[in-house]
Structure 1
Amino acid sequence: MLSNDEFEAWCCRLHLSDEAIEGIQRIHNSPPSRLISGSKKAISGRYPSRKIKQATEFESHQKEIAHPFEYKVDDK
């Protein structure tokens, strides 16, 4: 997760408008837009993340299940 200084530098580098920055911050601070329900063919669960300090829900039909674990070891 970006620090505040890194986020500001990223926004400047992309020349984002104040409106765009506010939209990104609103999305970042809001809860998920849908709940994970799972199905017969999908695996679902919650993955506690120390990086973002909250549990993240995931739903996987095939290969996507590896992503929560991949993100855990990514320092960026």
Structure 2
Amino acid sequence: MLDNLEFNNWCRQQDLSQAGQAIIEEIRSSNPSRRVTGARKNVCGSYPSRKMGCTIQFESRKLRVYEAFVLACQTHEPPFKPPSRITFCQAIKKRSSPERLAIWTLEELYSAFCEWAYSVYDQRLHPALGNSPHDAIPNY
């Protein structure tokens, strides 16, 4: 997270007005407007961020959970405090047994996710493969 000096420099680089800067400062300093909730086909969670000094909450319907893990691995900011292992499963239900949950470190989860993503990506042929860029884009 940017400190005040870095934030002011960033605002100058973005050429923000004073009103815009005031709105962003208010958002940065205020508490979340609501707690995240899990619903049908929705994943929610939280992790303590050492960098921001507070607990970060997230909710997503798609791959935002994986994105949070991948970004945490790439920025060398561990999103989880000790213990160093995390518990991950596709769907946690009341009848789930702890023995069936997969327990991985962030590095293992990241590498498994990359292997899965590349295997899925490599097995699908893109419809524009072999076409010229002009032929691949439909005319509107």
TM-score (norm 1): 0.78
Classify the secondary structure of the residue corresponding to 1:20: helix
- Which has the greater radius of gyration? 2
What does the per-residue CA deviation read over 1:9-55, in whole Å, with 9 as the maximum and x for residues that have no partner? Answer: 11112222222111110011112223211113122111111111111
1:9 matched to which residue of 2? 9
1:4 positional shift: 2.1
1:63 positional shift: 0.6
Q: CA RMSD in A?
A: 1.8
1:41 matched to which residue of 2? 41
2:61 matched to which residue of 1? 61
Distance 1:37 1:14 in 2: 33
Identity of aligned residues (%): 36
Distance 1:45 1:15 in 2: 35
Classify the secondary structure of the residue corresponding to 1:37: coil
The runs of at least 4 consecutive aligned structure 1 residues that moved more than 6 Å come to: none
- How many residues of Structure 1 are paired with residues of Structure 2 in the alignment? 75
Per residue, is there more strand in 1 or in 2? 1
Distance 1:17 1:54 in 2: 28
Listed as ranges, the gaps of 5+ residues in structure 1 are none
Listed as ranges, the gaps of 5+ residues in structure 2 are 77-140
TM-score (norm 2): 0.47
Q: Bigger shift: 32-41 or 52-61?
A: 32-41
Distance 1:20 1:40 in 2: 36
Q: Which amino acid aligns with 1:33?
A: S
Q: Which has the higher contact order (CA 8 A, sep 6+)?
A: 1
